[in-house]
Amino acid sequence: MERRLAVAIARSYLRVYTSAETQSLQSYIWSGHTLMQNAPARRRNAASTREAILTSARQAFARAGYDGAGVREIAAGAGVTAMLVNRYFGSKEQLFAEALAATAAEPTILTQENLKSSNLGETIAATLVDITKSGDTPLEGFLIMLHSASSKRAAEIGREQIENGHQKTMAAALSGDLAPQRAALVLSLVAGFQVMRQMIGLSALAEAEPADLIKILAPLFQQLIDGATKPGQVD
In this predicted model, what pLDDT tens digit does every residue of 146-163 receive, in sequence order? 999 999 999 999 999 999
- Model confidence at 124: pLDDT above 50: yes
The percent of residues above 90 in pLDDT, for the chain, comes to 77
Reported pTM: 0.76
Q: Determine whether 113 is exposed, middle or buried from the number of CB atoms within 10 Å of its CB (0-12, 13-18, 19+).
A: exposed
> Stretch 110-121: mean pLDDT, rounded?
96
Q: At what angle are helices 92-104 and 152-164 packed, to 10 degrees? A: 30
What mean pLDDT, rounded, does the chain reach? Answer: 85
CA–CA gap between residue 167 and residue 109 (Å, rounded):
12
75 CB contacts (<8 Å, ≥6 apart)? 53, 56, 81, 82, 84, 85
DSSP character for 15? T
pLDDT tier, 72 (very low <50, low <70, confident <90, very high otherwise): very high
pLDDT in tens, 194-205: 999 999 999 999
The pLDDT assigned to 228 comes to 66
Nearest to 186 by CA among 203, 162, 205, 208: 162
Mean pLDDT is lowest, of 4-13, 49-58, 127-136, 199-208, for 4-13
The pLDDT assigned to 116 comes to 95
117 CB contacts (<8 Å, ≥6 apart)? 123
- Model confidence at 15: pLDDT above 90: no
